[in-house]
A and B are shown apart, each in its own frame.
Chain A
Amino acid sequence: MSVIIRVPTQLRQLTAGTGEITVEASTVGEALHALEASYPGFGERIFDEAGALRRFVNVFLADEDVRFLEGLATPVADGVTISIVPAVAGG
């Protein structure tokens, strides 16, 4: 599946300023790892040592936080948007 990943300002230094990257993947986790393959440095920023999402990283599939879905194992459909969003906001 071809999916679009939206990249927040804090990580655009890794993408030469680009805010949207298209990758091939069948799950949310695969998509994020595909991003690391193309733009080294993403992995250590969004995953902790155990390979889980860092606690201040939120990932949304379309409008839903993946923690309400199946996390990194959530399947993705062709053409969907995945957003990486810093958790520290609001309140």
Chain B
Amino acid sequence: MTTVLGLRCRECSRLFPDEALHVCDFCFGPLEVNYDYDAIAALTTRASIAQGPRSIWRYANLLPVADENPVSLGAGFTPLVRAERLGAELGLKDLWIKDDTANPTGSFKDRVVSVALTKARQLGFKVAACASTGNLANSVAAHAARAGMSSMVLIPSNLEQAKILMTTVYGGEVIAVDGTYDDVNRLCAELTSERPSWAFVNVNVRSYYAEGSKTLAFEIAEQLGWQAPDHVVVPIASGSQLTKIAKGFKELSLVGLLDGEPSVRISGAQAKGCSPVATAFEKNIDAIAPVKPDTIAKSLAIGNPADGYYALDAIRTSGGSCGSVSDDEIIEGIKLLARTEGIFAETAGGVTIATLASLAQRGIIKPDERTVAIVSGHGLKTVEALAGHTAPTHIIAPTLDAFDKAVGFSDPNFQ
């Protein structure tokens, strides 16, 4: 059964029906799904969740669509791994990595797309569309193929090669736009008015789509034995993921799945070349000035973040922080995570790890805090970023003599 009452404007609280609407027609504020939390609490226990599928759909009662057979490639229930070696390097004693590289198309976007297309199908849509920096493109193309829907994916033309191939291979329409992501997004916002029969996952069905990110909070709490962590570090592009993670922990408490009200500090991570939220945080102002992005972290290169205000609010009210890191630090972050934990992250993960390191060094994350860093996408998607930064340690002829000269036989690490 559905637990959805309808939609409500986050700004002016006007109510709207449970349809493909994302913006209040009075004040342009975002519409949020309005749930019957009493009904969810009555339906949902830790045990009932444990009996569900090992995917985001185990939390279906807390998602905006009820469907016995959702559009799914198996998104979610990704590993939460204790990161002892990384923690030792950063001086953090209770560090965990939420490894969302393990999703079907290699990023957290599978969570939101599975929700969005299940809802879109229920609302009668036949076409799945999106504006994407790459990860969403991969996921929409794949899930649309799975669901037998047509896909119309719009991306900036300068994306990483893998992100383009991982979209086109599914056989849908892929429109490479000569412009930035913000240009593509604006085009899609206008196209939505002209093509109302298309489900733009992050435009007209965005209210539902965004809810999928709450499952990160749900899984983290469940995987920690139904306990919220003390601190979560989240990359910021539009700010939606961070906002919804904060909401997810609150909802778990609201429906009685956590003991007491959690107090989770939420910190944001941005690249210096695209840091509108971090800049507002550092200046201690509310206004978020849009920027023209210039960073290798293309999946976070949104200069005009739709949920920037709410992300900033979630950070401040939770007692978190927001940092930004350079492209060199991003590369070092990717290599540090790979070397210490065996997890290969895309550039956005490098942003998260480098920001985590910076916040730890500045004492903003305390050594004893139970801290979870969100690693949202796989490194195979952005291999160009590592060109010239990592290479074979030796290149030799296929002989013992050459091996001995290059490497020797006395390295204590290899005895």
Instruction: Show the binding face of A for B, using Cβ within 8 Å.
Output: 6, 8-13, 19, 45-46, 54-58, 60, 63, 65, 67-68, 83, 85-91
Contact = CB atoms under 8 A, between A and B. Distances in A.
Interface of B: 11, 22-30, 131, 179, 181-183, 185-186, 188-190, 192-194, 196, 200, 202-203, 206, 237-241, 289-290, 292, 302, 304-307, 309
15 contacts: A10-B23, A10-B25, A10-B28, A11-B25, A55-B309, A56-B27, A65-B304, A67-B290, A68-B292, A85-B189, A87-B28, A88-B22, A88-B307, A90-B181, A91-B306
Nearest to B136: A91
B30 to A, nearest CB: 4
Given A45-B27, A86-B23, A9 B193 contact: yes
A13 B203 CA distance: 19
A53 B362 CA distance: 38
Nearest to B189: A89
Contacts of B27: 45, 54, 56
Contacts of A46: 28
Contact of B190 (A8, A54, A67): A8
Contacts of B189: 8, 85-86, 89-90
Nearest to A8: B193
Contacts of A68: 290, 292
A12 B183 CA distance: 23
What 7 A-B pairs come out closest when comparing CB atoms?
Answer: A91-B238, A90-B185, A56-B28, A9-B193, A10-B25, A88-B30, A89-B189
A6 B192 CA distance: 13
Contacts of A6: 190
A56 B11 contact: yes
Contact of A9 (B131, B196, B238, B292): B196
Contacts of A54: 27-28
A48 to B, nearest CB: 9
B118 to A, nearest CB: 19
B375 to A, nearest CB: 18
B374 to A, nearest CB: 15
Contact of A45 (B28, B131, B192, B306): B28
A90 B131 contact: yes
Contacts of A55: 309
A63 B183 contact: yes
B23 A56 contact: yes
Nearest to A45: B26
B202 A89 contact: yes
A61 to B, nearest CB: 12
A55 B182 CA distance: 16
Contacts of A12: 193
Which of A13, A54, A56, A87 neighbours the largest number of chain B CB atoms within 10 Å of its CB? A87
A88 B206 contact: yes
Nearest to B186: A85
Nearest to A55: B309
A89 B306 contact: yes
Given A89-B206, A91-B238, 10 more contacts: A9-B192, A10-B23, A10-B28, A13-B25, A56-B28, A56-B30, A65-B304, A86-B28, A90-B181, A90-B182
